[in-house]
Chain A
Amino acid sequence: MAGGGELGGGKSERRGKKGKRKAKKRLGFRLDMTPLVDITFLLLTFFMLTTSMITPQTMEMNVPPEIDEPVEVKESELLTVRIREDGTLFANMAKDTPEKYTLKTLQKYVTDKNIELKNRCIVVLKSSPSAAYGLVVSVLDVLNAAEPDILQGLKAAGINERKRKFTVSPFDKTEDEERIKGL
């Protein structure tokens, strides 16, 4: 490009006059920026391609500590969500017959029941050991997603505090499997 030539050439008469070196403002000074831009673009593309923008998210879980004596709960306040090994979701209150749910309908069901029972609903998640972990997380996600609606519903009912009760419980081979068999 044109820049390189202008820098060095044409000004030889200035050389040798060392005594008269006054800082002269160089008008129209031009620097060739091409190599700079080249390198910068190279580095830019490198960093753009190596950075991963997606940072992992987290989902916090709380499980009750292992204690020997069982905690007594009212069965009428117990909402059980079961995940069968084929990925079907079942939910029921207390001793009712479990019914099939999808992720969407489950959210509504959990929301309704929580508002109905005014904070006393205890959600228990029982997942078959053979169910996919991704599905379990989806169910947890749905339970989390239901929280804002529950809060709103409770507020409408005059309750401003939300006490969330949730636990994960092992899937009993005989009892739980029997209950959702053939549904």
Chain B
Amino acid sequence: MSKIKKKRLGFVLDMTPLVDITFLLLTFFMFTAKFKSDSENQQKVEIKRPRTTVDTAKLADKDLVIIKVGVDSVLKDTAYYVSMLNELDVVNLRKAMTSLKFPGMDEKTVSFKVMDTVWLGQIIEQARLVNPRASFAIDADKRLRYQWIETAINEMRKKKATTFNFVTEKKM
């Protein structure tokens, strides 16, 4: 018999298992996907988090005040970026900061850029008033000098926020 390759016409492949698995993966990724929030969109700082091995605790997803410390990629200055996770808290904090005449904010501000210690203390106090249950998290770039973090800790200490979190990344 001659072994000439015959073109198989009308070749049909059963795609059902493929579609099954694909849909399964699709639904999985759709449900696990978390989209960027407003505050993440507003900030232009890139933060390289320090890596740790031990802690496996996940960051809380509500009642949280996040103090980001990072270097602005455009202006090259270090500042604190204070934001709150609960949306209602953000609105209330914005109101409170407007009445205190906080510079450089508008009615859309989600992440408050704080440059000096006095304002940092003020905003921490307001955040505590807005949501007394909120805990604090410091999310700072690992290359920064410790001074920045120490100042923030001292300000929190003054406002009686003695328990807080450092946001880290798990070491691979």
Q: Which residues of A contact B (CB under 8 A)?
A: 1-3, 30, 33-34, 36-37, 40-41, 43-44, 47-48, 50-52, 54-66, 83, 127-138, 140-141, 144-145, 147, 168, 170
A41 to B18: give the CA distance in the assembly, Å: 10
Q: Which among B53, B145, B146, B163 has the greatest number of chain A C-beta atoms within 10 A? A: B146
Contact present for A59 and B146 (CB under 8 Å) = no
Chain B, Cβ-Cβ closest to A137: B50
Given A30-B12, A47-B26, are A57 and B59 neighbors across the interface (CB < 8 Å)? yes
Q: A37-B22, A66-B157 are in contact. Are A133 and B162 (CB under 8 A)?
A: no
Q: Knowing A40-B26, A57-B168, A58-B165, say if A137 contacts B19 (CB, 8 Å).
A: no
Residues in A with CB closer than 8 Å to B165 are 58-61
17 pairs from A and B in contact (CB 8 Å cutoff):
A2-B10, A34-B15, A44-B29, A52-B34, A55-B58, A57-B59, A57-B167, A60-B166, A66-B158, A128-B146, A129-B145, A130-B147, A133-B146, A133-B148, A137-B166, A140-B52, A145-B53
User: When the two chains form the complex, which single residue of A41, A61, A64, A138 contacts B50, counting CB atoms closer than 8 Å?
Assistant: A138
A44 vs B18: C-alpha distance when bound (angstroms) = 13
Q: CB-defined interface of B39-62 with A at 8 Å, one 1/0 digit per residue?
A: 000000000011011111111100
When distances are taken between beta carbons in the complex, the residues of chain B under 8 Å from A63 are: 153, 156-157, 162, 164
With both chains docked as a complex, state the minimum distance between the C-beta of A30 and any C-beta of chain B, in angstroms: 7
Please measure, in the bound complex, the distance between the C-alpha atom of A55 and the C-alpha atom of B147, giving whole angstroms.
27
**How distant is the Cα of A1 from the Cα of B10 in the complex, in angstroms?**
7
Q: Is the CB–CB distance between A133 and B149 below 8 Å?
A: yes
